[in-house]
Amino acid sequence: MADTMQFDLVSPERRLASLRVVSVQIPGADGDLTAMPDHAPLITTLRPGILKVEGPEGVQSYAVTGGFAEISGQATSVLAEKAMPVAELTAAQMDAMMAEAKAAADGATGAGKDAADKLLADFAALRAAAGV
């Protein structure tokens, strides 16, 4: 397929996807971005959010908590700290991630406090976007 690229999503637990796609919407640490075939090479870190993949079979959504994305002209690879299909994300899992982020924010000081507060806000946005 001429207007597709290879997409791979892996986490330490499992390989979640390896397929041909039209686009990948990535929750980058510096803002959301969309990778498409012939995208300029780029490596970015991820923030907690929803990663959306559009392929010939439709749109698939994954919750990611962080990691890295590497985009090249004909491939996008995402190495996620934690990742799962949004349909598999439970309120209990979200509660545990939010509690961990809140504990980190409560214990942080100085410049680390801003980063910890942002991470907590990113998890709250992930929860809202996932609807759990």
What tens digit of pLDDT does each residue of 80-90 get?
999 999 999 99
Tell me: do 68 and 107 sit in the same domain. no
Could you identify the residue written with the tokens 């996008």?
76
Say how many residues make up the chain. Answer: 132
Sign of torsion, CA 24 51 86 16? positive
Tell me: do 70 and 126 sit in the same domain. no
Tell me: do 81 and 19 sit in the same domain. yes
pLDDT of amino acid 2 = 57
Tell me: do 78 and 96 sit in the same domain. no
Q: Could you tell me which of 93, 2, 108 has the C-alpha nearest to residue 56?
A: 2
Return d(Cα 81, Cα 4) in angstroms, integer: 26
Say how many C-beta atoms besides its own lie within 10 A of residue 14's C-beta. Answer: 9
Mean pLDDT of the chain, nearest integer: 93
pLDDT at 10 over 90: yes
Tell me: do 97 and 77 sit in the same domain. no
pLDDT tier at 1, thresholds 50, 70, 90: very low
Write down the pTM of the prediction. Answer: 0.91
| Share of the chain residues as helix, strand and coil, in percent rounded to the nearest 5 | 30, 45, 25
Q: Give tens-digit pLDDT for 27-66.
A: 999 999 999 999 999 999 999 999 999 998 899 999 999 9
Tell me: do 36 and 96 sit in the same domain. no
Tell me: do 62 and 103 sit in the same domain. no
Give me the domain span that covers residue 13: 5-86
How far apart, in Å, are the Cα atoms of 112 and each of 84, 118, 126? 28, 10, 21
What is the token pair recorded at 71? Answer: 């985009």
Taking residues 7-25, report their average pLDDT.
96
Q: Of 3-7, 41-45, 104-108, which range is least confident? A: 104-108
pLDDT of amino acid 123 = 93
Return d(Cα 6, Cα 93) in angstroms, integer: 30
